[in-house]
Amino acid sequence: MNGAEQVAIEARKQDIRSRWILSAPALIIIFVAAIGPLFVMLLYSFLVKGDYGDVKPWEFSLDGWTSVFFQRDIFDDTLGLADAHISIIWRSIQLSFFTTILTLILGFPTAYFIATRPPHTREIWVFLVTIPFWTNLLIRTFAMQQVIRNEGLLNNALIWLGIIKSPLQIIYTDTANLLGMTYVYLPLMVLPLYASIEKLDFRLVEAGYDLYATRFQVLRKIVIPLVKPGIIAGSILVFIPSLGAYVIPRVLGGGKNMMLGNLIEMQFGAGRNWPLGAAMSITLMILVMVALIVYVRNASRGGSGHV
């Protein structure tokens, strides 16, 4: 090894060292605030639950994980499927899926409308879309409760118009959850959709019409493929918080229509089963990751060529 090489290696080492030092603050935050707590959760999920909540330190057990999907029969101690848990997880997935679809159906025309306004009026529309963010989620959810409850705005209006005789039972059903989540998460769909529709070259739409495409074909063959990044981003932004929703099902769904978020909260609260809560939290995270991978894979297939 000659001298020059040694100097070069030394310089590279110096370089690497200074990079580590420079990125240390960010790394510390990530470890303390994100990865650290995850490891705590992972550890807790393998511990034995404490008698009054908490866990028994360093007593390991797989009970937390098995009780995510299974439960022991009280009388004969056999292992059976935890129907309640599975139905709640399944409901969460379904509701999140339909919320995503519903926000997409409502958000796409909205975003398209905004993107096709003259530039200076677009800003006003975007501003209007973001207004709900000024208010706390809890307050917005209570507002929704006021609209859909039995003596609420919607039912009173429908009765007054003579469309229905007795109030519709919307509150404390899955429909209420769906309506609430759609309302709360709609801006998260509209904004990324708008961002990508706004970038759409509308001469391509004209070219489509010129080449004998109908309105529907222009939408399906030109607009949707080109704004796909916005559709993917919006769907991800809506699906993830929907899956972990807590406040909305708590206020609108009542006790019967729990979602995964409420089930997890229960384990840390009244249920006094922290390992189960931890295992469920990680299950939720895995669900989100699997959904993301499946979705992004499917969505990016077929849309070759464009970046």
The footprint of another protein (CB under 8 A) covers 201, 203-204, 206-214, 217, 221-222, 225-226, 303-307
Question: Measured from the CB atom, is 154 or 200 closer to another protein?
Answer: 200
Structure tokens at 222: 């030109």
Cα 140 from chain centroid? Answer: 18
Question: Measured from the CB atom, is 1 or 307 closer to another protein?
Answer: 307
State the nearest-atom distance from the C-beta of 223 to another protein, in Å.
Answer: 11
Give Cα separations from 186 to 7, 87, 88, 180 (angstroms). Answer: 58, 26, 23, 10
State the nearest-atom distance from the C-beta of 238 to another protein, in Å.
Answer: 24
Query: What is the longest distance spanned by two Cα atoms in the chain?
Result: 94
SS3 content of the chain, % helix, strand, coil (to 5): 75, 5, 20
Cβ–Cβ < 8 Å for 109, 115: no
Question: Measured from the CB atom, is 231 or 263 closer to another protein?
Answer: 231
Question: Measured from the CB atom, is 233 or 285 closer to another protein?
Answer: 233
Cβ–Cβ < 8 Å for 78, 66: no
State the nearest-atom distance from the C-beta of 117 to another protein, in Å.
Answer: 17
Question: Beta strands 79-81 and 70-72: pairing type?
Answer: antiparallel
Question: Measured from the CB atom, is 51 or 210 closer to another protein?
Answer: 210
Distance CA 234, CA 228 (A): 10
State the nearest-atom distance from the C-beta of 208 to another protein, in Å.
Answer: 8
State the nearest-atom distance from the C-beta of 207 to another protein, in Å.
Answer: 4
